[in-house]
Amino acid sequence: MGPTDWFKGSDGELIAASGIRMTPRDLVKIGQLMLRGGVWGERVVVPAEWIACCTSPVVPIDEMREYGYHWYIGRYAFETPAAPRWNRSRLERYWSAAGNGGQRLFVIPGLDLLVAVTAGNYDTPDQWVPPTRVVREVVLPALL
């Protein structure tokens, strides 16, 4: 990992829920760690059990998304469905880390794919739209 900046609270402690800044390249390294089951090189950095636990659904959000422990879990259509409803047999599971402004890390294990998106759509209710569209409308179709 390269240099990072992590905001501290008024008590001088790091704000664990947010405020970390890193390059997209370093963000993808977190995704690589997730894909490798917590192993970096020869070293276990995060127990595989924790990776499995945090990427397992805990709280439902809607029909396509759930929340684990610090990770959003969902499914992307690998191809645009022709039917009016999603064909679940054509969906690819993903994990996503989300930051304010549209910062996202998408881990798509079935495709061995990582996508880091940085954006500046801060403090808006639709900040999730641009990174989601990048994956769904640009990245996934490019794999066909």
Q: Give the global pTM.
A: 0.85
- Rg of the Cα trace of the chain? 16
Phi, psi at residue 113, to the nearest 5°? -120, 135
Q: Token digits for 22?
A: 């890193």
Q: What does the alpha-carbon distance between residue 22 and residue 97 come to, in Å, rounded to a whole number?
A: 13
Average pLDDT, the chain: 87
Question: By the 8 A CB rule, do 77 and 86 touch?
Answer: yes
pLDDT of the residue at 119: 87
- Say yes or no: domain 23-142 is CATH 2.60.40.10: no
Residue 113, pLDDT > 70, answer yes
Confidence band, pLDDT 50/70/90 cuts, at residue 18: confident
Residue 112, pLDDT > 90, answer yes
Residue 86, pLDDT > 60, answer no
**Three-state SS letters, 16-68:** CCCCEECCHHHHHHHHHHHHCCCEECCEECCCHHHHHHHCCCCEECCCCEEEC
DSSP β-bridge partners for residue 66:
60, 73
SS3 88: helix
Confidence band, pLDDT 50/70/90 cuts, at residue 143: confident
Q: What does the alpha-carbon distance between residue 2 and residue 23 come to, in Å, rounded to a whole number?
A: 8
Confidence band, pLDDT 50/70/90 cuts, at residue 136: confident
| Per-residue pLDDT tens digits for 116-130 | 998 888 888 888 889
pLDDT of the residue at 137: 85
The domain locations on the chain are 23-142
